[in-house]
Amino acid sequence: MPSSKKITLRDYLLAYLVPTLWAGLIFLLSAQEVLPGFSVSVYDFIFKKAAHMFVYAVLYLLLFRAYQQTSHRSLNTRSYVIPLCIALLYAVVDEFHQGTVPGRHPTLRDIGYDMLGMSTVLLYQLKII
């Protein structure tokens, strides 16, 4: 049941503070020329792609929570789609950002891993997995 409480600018700022800080962490990691990893290439690949999935799964969850806190609507399709689209848009922008960092390059594959992390959370929320 939607709340009748008027949502203030302060409510929005507080709700979106944590997802904004998390996105800032992603930005800082993307700005690194070299990320820590493993010397064995297959382990390095698995670790880095799992990291993509994890950080974007968390970003989606934080955006979902913020959207729920600032929406007068009860849980509906929009509650899932809007945070998912924002997180996906950020993933695309982040890959472009990586393209400006020496030694890094953007890939569509990484956006796919980001989306895989977000989608896994979404499927869990919908009780599909």
* 102-106 LR contacts (CB < 8 Å, sep 24+): 102/33, 103/33, 103/34, 104/30, 104/32, 104/33
pLDDT of residue 1: 43
Instruction: Report which DSSP code applies to 127.
Output: T
Q: Report pTM.
A: 0.87
pLDDT of residue 120: 97
**What are the residue boundaries of the structural domains of the chain, listed by start?**
45-129
Instruction: Report which DSSP code applies to 79.
Output: H
**pLDDT tens by residue, 42-79:** 888 899 899 999 999 999 999 999 999 998 778 888 89
Question: Cα dihedral sign for 9, 21, 55, 101?
Answer: positive
Confidence check: pLDDT of 31 > 80:
yes
Q: What distance in Å separates the CA atoms of residue 112 and residue 118, rounded to the nearest whole number? A: 10
Do 38 and 109 contact (CB within 8 A), yes or no?
A: no
Distances, alpha carbon 51 to alpha carbons 56, 58, 89, 126, in Å: 8, 11, 18, 23
**pLDDT tens by residue, 79-110:** 999 999 999 999 999 999 999 999 888 999 99
pLDDT of residue 4: 63
Q: What distance in Å separates the CA atoms of residue 108 and residue 95, rounded to the nearest whole number? A: 8
Do 72 and 3 contact (CB within 8 A), yes or no?
A: yes
